Amino acid sequence: MEAHIASLPVVYADESMNSGQNLLDPNQPVFSVAGVHLPDDLAASIVDEIKADIPPSQKEPKYTSLVRSSGGRKALMRAFAQLPEGSVRVSYAHKGFMVTTKMVDILVEPLAHQDGLNLYENGALALAEALHLTGLVSGLEITHRKMQEAFVGWMRRKTSTDDLFDSIAEHRKSVAAQSKKLAHWLELLEHCRPVADATSPEERDDSLDPAIPALYVIAVGFREDLGDFRLVHDDSKVIDRHSTNLSTVHLLPDPARPGKASRQAASHISFADSRDYPQLQIADWTAGAVRQWATWLAVGGRGRFAEELGSVVDAWSLWGVWPPNPEG
């Protein structure tokens, strides 16, 4: 068995800006994770070229340090140009919008399921987008933020269920003063109190962390090309806690595809220090590039290099949790 695992193709993965379940950290609005499948010699050559351009005192060329200088940015773009097509896959998430999608997943979907409705086939994303829009209307930003903070606090066992539904009611009242149509979707959330009461604290643990679903999508994508493979992830406590679930998820039903099993991901997951594997260092760079580009999209501001990255990272992107553009 060990010999079989050792002979499998390897994908290396790393994250950028994972604040865990704290999805409302204003300093980290976007999360990304990247998977890299590269031959050892090519990966080592790319990393060695980067190292030749940085001071010897900088032992490991991290994305956050490289991107600070003009030389580092040019070196990164040269490195990205050497990555073969299909060798990198990335997932990313707008954390604020992900809070809203999780409210639908955790509160509304179970209620819909009880009524025989598969929400993932019939409007889960549209509902999340409608709820998100209630926070973009002028004058409603504060109550929308309070609702999100109460939900995140409830998921993290820091606020009560009463606090959560008080905040939902407060936001619904604010919305109703401007749009009865949008307020209707908040009323739906209020009807989900029985679901919240029946959800144990243990069921909520790690449920907000974007790393797990994002990594799953990457693994499924690589499996379509590589078949059976093993995943080496940079040290991660949350992935470690869920590594068994990720490698056996294909034994469980897929809630989005009734009657079918979930797609298979990596067969085996292990962890390593990025200093020991050039592929993990490249995963750090690619995840960082996607995170910087997506952050620029999310918050705006000066972003000449981030805009330049857009033409590169588009080919890597598999999946993104991203809010709708209110302007269409």
Helical segments of the chain, H only: 2-6, 40-51, 63-66, 70-81, 95-103, 109-114, 124-133, 141-155, 161-176, 180-190, 193-198, 201-204, 211-226, 237-241, 243-247, 278-299, 304-313
Strands 30-36 and 10-16: antiparallel
Span 242-253, average pLDDT: 84
**pLDDT of 239 over the 80 cut:** yes
Answer positive or negative: Cα dihedral of 159, 161, 164, 169. Answer: negative
Tell me how many degrees the CA angle 328-209-65 measures, rounded to the nearest 5.
85
Q: Are 94 and 28 spatial neighbours (Cβ–Cβ below 8 Å)? A: no
Model pLDDT, residue 300:
80
Report whether pLDDT(313) > 60.
Answer: yes
Q: Which whole number is the average pLDDT over 292-299?
A: 92
Q: How confident is the model at residue 327 (pLDDT cuts 50, 70, 90)?
A: low
pLDDT value at 240 more than 50: yes
**Token pair belonging to 117:** 């409705």
Alpha-carbon 143 to chain mean position: 25
Q: What is the pLDDT of residues 13-31, one digit of tens each?
A: 999 988 888 899 988 999 9
Give the per-residue pLDDT at 250. 85
State the Rg of the chain over Cα.
21
Mean pLDDT for the chain overall: 90
pLDDT higher than threshold 70 for residue 290:
yes
Closest CA to 227 of 76, 9, 30: 9
Mean pLDDT score, 237-248: 87
Confidence of residue 105 (pLDDT cuts 50, 70, 90): very high
More confident residue, 80 or 242: 80
Q: Give CA 247 to chain center in angstroms.
A: 18
pLDDT tens by residue, 47-74 = 999 988 777 777 779 999 999 989 899 9
- Residue 192's pLDDT is what? 96
Judged against a pLDDT cut of 50, whether residue 328 lies above it is answered with no
- CB contact at 8 A, 89 and 222: yes
- Within 8 A by CB and 6+ apart from 161, the residues are 154, 193, 196, 197
Does pLDDT of 326 surpass 70?
no
Residue 97, pLDDT above cutoff 50 = yes
Say which residues have a Cβ less than 8 Å from residue 56's Cβ, sequence separation at least 6. Answer: none
Quick: pLDDT tens for 150-165.
999 999 999 999 999 9
Cα angle 248, 254, 255 (rounded to 5 degrees) comes to: 135
Q: Provide the pLDDT for residue 258.
A: 67
CA distance 136 to 122: 24
**pLDDT at position 2, please?**
67
Q: What is the mean pLDDT of residues 106-117?
A: 90
pLDDT at 6: 78
- Residue 172 token pair: 């619904």
Rounded CA separation 129/133 (Å)? 6
DSSP 110: H
Percent of the chain surpassing pLDDT 90 = 61
Residue whose entry in the numeric block shows the structure tokens 């109703």 = 176
Chain segment 178-188, per-residue pLDDT in tens:
988 889 989 99
**Paired residues of 199 in beta bridges:** none
